[in-house]
């Protein structure tokens, strides 16, 4: 579908802001593609034409970039794009079984959406959460320590419109379009909400504390004091 | 007792508001920046060199030396680009760092930019981590509001603009020159080196590309001194770093420790291999580093010792596999990853990865032969050193090392007419109803 005049005006205003971040305008192409994806749910021919127009590029030049990056979709995905990591470690830990189970449960293949358009499924490469394997992502939020059962319950919840929250992420799960807008550099208001660290993130710190291997309070407030020495004060309103 | 673990970067991650400027300040943050701004930039570069800090993104190049390569007084803009594209299978330290303490990174960026005389910096973060992206934007906004970024930072006359830039899904963009092409709005393909980014990087201007953890370590060094940092670690691998333990272990997670720590020490502390199982093979630094086995449990995890034992420290991504795991399946999956992520620019990597996958796939299905193993090694040998960047070289690591340690397991697939392993046994939920 072609953009309406209103859409085009709004996109152009956002595009101007994005382009302004960079010393050279072409650097804005990746965020601009996230932006048009947030408008239509995927990167359409109109989206490509829009980006090309904003940056003075040809549509072929833009298309060459789109086709290189897996996060840009050339056809609509679901409101909730569900990824299952099937790189080696997650696959072995259960990712393969989870992905196979979801394909069967949803009746879709890789990179396909359910008929109601709610959920699409894709197998992912490593998403930098190996300490929480097997890992799934929904609209690029972390769902950690998954099992075939928890994966089925997750997608059922998404299809039913039930509230679903990531294991480490914002409490309100964004739609695919909303997520794309954040990636374009227009974050929502959830940065201060949600999780800071999960169990695995804190595993080493917890063990260190059990052994009393803690850094001096307010590290950084004075000259070298460790190992084993005292650390001259200087906390700013906090005791730990 | 000597501390096996040394939480510094990770020390405050258990505080619920650790990602905020207020918490970072409360815990002693943003004290290094005014100190640094009162110093001569060259002094900061020297201090970073003296600390012995080596790039935490895998290659281990001395950070201070990299900064020192930036030509000064050349009249060109200089740039700092933080490589936050963490995508190496097994690597999972930078994402939790930015989720829990983005301000340590931002303070490090401000100091690094002052040292290399850059007034514009970028954080190139992989796109597939929405909450990390939110946290980065939030932290950058907070830093601007407090005058740690922007014009005339803390009254020093130093200006810095910092942009958070989300990638779009391409492992190759973790390679620094591919990252620069991507940041310039192109397909992420590596560039010919030289010229190195320090001379011609972003927009053909002098550019430092540093890993998240490298830059986040800078405030500690400024606060505590180069000698303090260098007192940790081993002779040539100084300081502490985050070790990421994943796979068939009792307690996977992030463990910050001096370089030179061993896997045995980390396992002893964290409950070892999952109950009832034993270690079979592991990676010291992610999928691009040759496999280790039980015999390497006591190898000090520093650059030199790991190299001497036949692998690479890489990103300290300790992926642990127990005896239920089929090594052929694991290696096939990693090479399928490299095949998928090969940018296609050079023939050895693009074609080589394809053929290695074909052979491994045959072998896994039990349709291969011993001669295929020689063919695999021959193809790998023709990729390594002949490809454009390190992605191609990575293909050989798991293939060659797995054949070295588990040749008979490859052949067992042929004798068995297929994989002899039960994939259910290696899952996290083995024994539980599906």
Query: Residue A42: which residues within 8 A CB-CB, separation 6 or more?
Result: A72, A73, A74, A75, A76, A77
Strands A80-85 and A141-143: unpaired
In B, residues 362-421, which contact A (CB 8 Å cutoff)?
none
- Is residue A239 within 8 A of residue B242, CB to CB? The reply is no
CATH topology of domain B240-322: Ubiquitin-like (UB roll) (3.10.20)
Kindly give the residue spans of alpha helices, DSSP state H, lying in B342-419.
Answer: 347-364, 370-383, 390-416
The answer to whether A234 faces chain B, any CB pair under 8 Å, is yes
pLDDT number for residue A228? 33
CB contact under 8 A, A204 and B432: no
The rounded distance, in Å, linking the Cα atoms of B189 and A44 is 24
B236 phi/psi in degrees, rounded to 5: -110, -5
What residue in A sits closest to B242 (Cα-Cα)? A204
The rounded distance, in Å, linking the Cα atoms of B177 and B84 is 14
The owner of tokens 């300790």 is B318
Q: What is the dihedral of CA B287, B290, B292, B298, to 10 degrees?
A: -100
Interface confidence (ipTM) of the complex: 0.96
The rounded distance, in Å, linking the Cα atoms of B90 and A15 is 36
CATH 1.20.1440.230 intervals, chain B: 327-423
Strands A119-124 and A112-113: antiparallel
Chain B environment of A130 (Cβ under 8 Å): 89-92, 244, 246-247, 252, 317, 319
The answer to whether B68 faces chain A, any CB pair under 8 Å, is no
The rounded distance, in Å, linking the Cα atoms of B210 and B185 is 20
Strands B253-258 and B240-247: antiparallel
What are the structure tokens assigned to B118, written together? 């850059």
What are the structure tokens assigned to B269, written together? 């502390």
pLDDT digits (tens, 9 = 90+) for B369-418: 999 999 999 999 999 999 999 999 999 999 999 999 999 999 999 999 99
What are the structure tokens assigned to A157, written together? 């919840």
pLDDT number for residue A132? 98
pLDDT number for residue A236? 31
CB contact under 8 A, B254 and A203: yes
Residues counted in chain B: 434
Q: Give yes or no for residue A22 having a pLDDT over 80.
A: yes
The answer to whether B100 faces chain A, any CB pair under 8 Å, is yes
The rounded distance, in Å, linking the Cα atoms of B11 and B414 is 50
| Pick from B137, B329, B427: CB nearest A191 | B137
**Average pLDDT of every residue of chain A:** 90
SS3 at position B282: strand
Strands B161-166 and B279-283: unpaired
Q: Give yes or no for residue A224 having a pLDDT over 50.
A: no
Would residue B140 be called left, alpha or beta, if left means φ above 0 and alpha means ψ between -120 and 50 degrees? alpha
- Is residue A68 within 8 A of residue A126, CB to CB? The reply is no
C-alpha dist (Å) from residue A73 to B121, B220, B303: 29, 42, 40
- Is residue B296 within 8 A of residue B263, CB to CB? The reply is yes
- Is residue B134 within 8 A of residue A170, CB to CB? The reply is yes
CB contact under 8 A, B99 and A22: no
Domains and CATH numbers, chain A: 5-66 (1.10.10), 80-174 (3.40.30.10)
Nearest one of A147, A71, A80, A65 to A114, comparing CA atoms = A80
pLDDT number for residue A214? 78
The DSSP symbol for B62 reads B
Nearest one of B297, B395, B313 to B348, comparing CA atoms = B395
Q: Is the preceding omega at residue A134 within 30 degrees of 0, hence cis?
A: yes
| β-sheet bridge partners, residue B293 | B281
Nearest one of B143, B127, B225 to B179, comparing CA atoms = B127
- Is residue A129 within 8 A of residue B126, CB to CB? The reply is no
pLDDT number for residue A230? 31
CATH class of B327-423: mainly alpha
Shortest alpha-carbon distance between residue B89 and chain A (Å)? 5
What are the structure tokens assigned to A159, written together? 């299809």
CB contact under 8 A, A185 and B244: no
CATH 3.10.20.600 intervals, chain B: 240-322
Enumerate residue ranges in chain B where pLDDT < 50.
1
pLDDT digits (tens, 9 = 90+) for B250-283: 999 999 999 999 999 999 999 999 999 999 999 9
CA dihedral sign, ordered B366, B370, B371, B377: positive
B255 phi/psi in degrees, rounded to 5: -130, 110
In total, the C-beta contacts within 8 angstroms joining chain A to chain B are: 333
Task: Quickly state the pLDDT bin for A217 (edges 50, 70, 90).
Answer: low
CB contact under 8 A, B129 and A128: yes
The rounded distance, in Å, linking the Cα atoms of A76 and B398 is 37
Least confident segment among A127-136, A225-234, B48-57, B314-323 = A225-234
3-state secondary structure B334-347: HHHHHHHHCCCCCH
Query: Residue B317: which residues within 8 A CB-CB, separation 6 or more?
Result: A130, B88, B89, B90, B91, B92, B93, B244, B246, B283, B285, B286
SS3 at position B399: helix
The rounded distance, in Å, linking the Cα atoms of B282 and A145 is 20
Task: Quickly state the pLDDT bin for A220 (edges 50, 70, 90).
Answer: very low
- CB-neighbour burial class of residue B68 (10 A; exposed 0-12, middle 13-18, buried 19+): middle
- Is residue B239 within 8 A of residue B232, CB to CB? The reply is yes
Q: Give yes or no for residue A13 having a pLDDT over 80.
A: yes
* Architecture (CATH level 2) of domain B21-230: 3-Layer(aba) Sandwich (3.40)
CA dihedral sign, ordered B159, A182, A44, B345: positive
Strands B161-166 and A119-124: unpaired
Q: Give yes or no for residue A12 having a pLDDT over 50.
A: yes
The rounded distance, in Å, linking the Cα atoms of B52 and B75 is 29
User: What count of other Cβ atoms lies within 10 Å of the Cβ of residue B312?
Assistant: 21
The rounded distance, in Å, linking the Cα atoms of B28 and A221 is 6
The rounded distance, in Å, linking the Cα atoms of B203 and A227 is 44
The rounded distance, in Å, linking the Cα atoms of B83 and B126 is 9
Residue in A143, A179, A201, A216 to test binding to B, most B beta-carbons within 10 Å:
A201
pLDDT number for residue B433? 56
The answer to whether B277 faces chain A, any CB pair under 8 Å, is no
CA dihedral sign, ordered B332, A121, A178, B145: negative
The rounded distance, in Å, linking the Cα atoms of B233 and B213 is 16
Query: Residue B271: which residues within 8 A CB-CB, separation 6 or more?
Result: B249, B250, B251
pLDDT number for residue B2? 66
Nearest one of B407, B175, B409, B400 to B310, comparing CA atoms = B400
B397 phi/psi in degrees, rounded to 5: -55, -60
Strands B207-211 and B120-125: unpaired
Residues counted in chain A: 240
User: What count of other Cβ atoms lies within 10 Å of the Cβ of residue B272?
Assistant: 17
pLDDT number for residue B434? 53
């Amino acid at each position: 579908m072609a953009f309406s005049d209103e859409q085009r005006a709004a996109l152009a205003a956002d595009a101007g802001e994005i382009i302004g971040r960079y010393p050279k305008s072409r650097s804005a192409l990746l965020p601009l593609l996230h932006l048009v994806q947030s408008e239509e749910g995927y990167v359409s021919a109109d989206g490509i034409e829009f980006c090309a127009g904003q940056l003075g590029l040809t549509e072929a030049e833009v298309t060459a970039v789109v086709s290189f990056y897996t996060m840009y979709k050339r056809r609509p995905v679901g409101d909730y794009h569900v990824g299952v990591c099937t790189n080696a470690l997650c696959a072995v830990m259960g990712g393969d079984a989870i992905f196979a189970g979801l394909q069967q449960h949803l009746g879709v293949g890789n990179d396909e959406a359910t008929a109601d358009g709610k959920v699409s499924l894709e197998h992912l490469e490593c998403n930098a959460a190996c300490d929480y394997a097997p890992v799934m992502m929904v609209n690029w939020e972390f769902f950690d320590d998954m099992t075939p059962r928890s994966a089925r319950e997750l997608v059922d919840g998404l299809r039913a419109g039930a509230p679903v929250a990531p294991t480490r992420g914002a409490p309100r799960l964004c739609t695919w379009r909303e997520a794309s807008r954040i990636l374009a550099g227009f974050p929502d208001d959830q940065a201060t909400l949600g999780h800071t660290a999960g169990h695995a993130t804190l595993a080493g710190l917890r063990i260190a504390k059990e052994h009393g291997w803690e850094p001096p309070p307010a590290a950084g407030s004075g000259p070298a004091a460790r190992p084993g020495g005292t650390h001259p004060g200087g906390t700013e309103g906090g005791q730990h | 007792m000597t501390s096996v673990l040394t939480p510094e970067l990770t020390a405050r991650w258990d505080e619920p508001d650790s990602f905020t400027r207020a918490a970072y300040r409360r815990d002693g943050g943003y004290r290094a920046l005014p100190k640094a701004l009162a110093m001569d930039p060259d002094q900061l570069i020297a201090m970073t060199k003296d600390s012995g800090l080596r790039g935490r993104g895998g290659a281990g190049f001395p950070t201070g030396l990299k900064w020192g390569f930036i030509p000064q007084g050349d009249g060109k803009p200089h740039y700092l680009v933080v490589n936050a594209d963490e995508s190496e299978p097994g690597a999972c330290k930078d994402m939790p760092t930015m989720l829990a303490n983005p301000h340590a990174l931002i303070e490090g960026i401000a100091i690094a930019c002052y040292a290399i005389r850059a007034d514009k910096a970028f954080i190139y973060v992989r796109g597939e981590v929405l909450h990390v992206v939110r946290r980065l934007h939030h932290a950058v906004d907070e830093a601007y509001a407090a005058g740690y970024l922007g014009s005339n930072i803390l009254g020093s006359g130093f200006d810095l603009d910092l942009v958070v830039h989300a990638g779009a899904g391409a492992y190759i963009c973790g390679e620094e020159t591919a990252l620069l092409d991507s940041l310039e709005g192109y397909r992420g393909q590596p560039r010919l080196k030289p010229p190195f980014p320090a001379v011609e990087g972003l927009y053909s201007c002098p550019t430092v590309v540093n890993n998240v953890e490298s830059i986040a370590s800078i405030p500690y060094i400024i606060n505590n001194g180069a000698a303090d940092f260098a007192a940790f670690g081993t002779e040539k691998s100084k300081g502490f770093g985050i070790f990421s333990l994943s796979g068939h272990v009792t307690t996977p997670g992030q463990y910050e420790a001096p370089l030179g720590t061993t896997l045995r020490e980390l396992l002893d502390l964290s409950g070892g291999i999952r109950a009832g199982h034993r270690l079979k093979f592991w990676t010291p630094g992610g999928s691009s580093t040759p496999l280790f086995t039980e015999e390497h449990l006591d190898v000090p995890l520093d650059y030199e010792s790991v190299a001497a034992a036949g692998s690479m420290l890489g990103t300290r991504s300790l992926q642990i596999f127990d005896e239920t795991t089929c090594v052929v399946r694991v290696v096939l999956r990693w090479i399928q990853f490299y095949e998928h992520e090969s940018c296609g620019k050079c023939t050895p990597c693009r074609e080589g990865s394809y053929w290695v996958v074909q052979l491994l796939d045959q072998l896994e299905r039990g349709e291969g032969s011993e001669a295929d193993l020689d063919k695999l090694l021959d193809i790998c040998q023709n990729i390594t050193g002949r490809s454009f960047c390190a992605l191609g070289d990575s293909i050989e690591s798991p293939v060659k090392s797995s054949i070295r340690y588990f040749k008979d397991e490859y052949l067992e697939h042929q004798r068995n007419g297929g994989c002899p392993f039960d994939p259910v046994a290696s899952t996290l939920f083995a024994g539980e109803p599906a």
